Amino acid sequence: MPADPLHRATGPKRSMTSQPPGGPWASAVEVRRSTRRNRTVSAYREGDRTVVLIPARMSEAEERRWVTVMLDKLAAQESKRILGDSELTERAERLSAQYFEGRAKPTLVRWVTNQNTRWGSCTPAEGSIRLSHRLQGMPEYVVDYVLLHELAHLLVPGHGPRFWRLLEAYPRTERARGYLEGVVAADRLPHLPAARGE
């Protein structure tokens, strides 16, 4: 998957990305450089835009790195708020509209606590989608990827080329898959006993 493009604005103080990696509700990232800012970097949501404040002296490479760091930080903070089933259903509907032209129409989307070996499941005949409670607290883009994966099953039941082509529309597919693979790998690592005195 190509990286999210970061384009410099014509003026020296601001730059924009057209498709940030922070989820479907943010349509742009605006970077504001400040000569008064020496070391600190901060970010906040402003409507459908994410504003990242950085020192004016930062290089473009540092800017790109900090934009990614701050978007991930905001996403992690936002994902700590656990969505209820109705909010999860609304999110699935928005994702379907954004990436599948509204063709994937779930009848039920809910969290479940009995899925410990997979992240989500879908029953196309019923139109129901279930997400593992283990996703709660993960970054927004990871939950969105799992939702899109299950929504795609409403359109294509298997995991063939047509299914994966549908998911290519989501720019953070590879990153989300890598995140989930990392979680699985971390669970398999041996847990060392704590040292005495800890």
pTM confidence score: 0.58
Cα gap 71→90, rounded to integer Å: 22
Q: End-to-end CA distance of the chain, in Å?
A: 43
How far is residue 116's CA from residue 195's CA, in Å, rounded to a whole number? 30
User: Looking at the DSSP assignment, which residues form a beta bridge with residue 129?
Assistant: 109, 122
**Among 50, 33, 60, 57, residue whose Cα is nearest residue 140:** 50
pLDDT at position 27 is 46
Amino acid in the structure at residue 130: R
One-letter identity of residue 9 = A
Provide long-range contacts, Cβ within 8 A and 24+ apart, for 167-174.
Answer: 168/1, 169/99, 169/100, 170/99, 170/144, 170/145, 171/1, 171/2, 171/4, 171/19, 171/21, 172/1, 172/21, 172/141, 172/144, 172/145, 173/1, 173/145, 173/148, 174/1
pLDDT of residue 106: 94
pLDDT of residue 193: 57
* Consecutive 10-residue averages of pLDDT for the chain (198 residues): 30 40 54 88 79 91 90 74 78 94 93 88 93 87 94 93 92 91 82 53
Per DSSP, helices labelled H in 19-139 are 60-79, 85-100
Q: What is the pLDDT of residue 29?
A: 87
What is the structure's pLDDT at 10? 31
Whether 24 contacts 170, CB under 8 Å: no
What angle separates helix 140-155 from helix 173-188, to the nearest 10 degrees?
A: 110
Stated as kind and residue range, the H or E segment containing 44 is strand 42-46
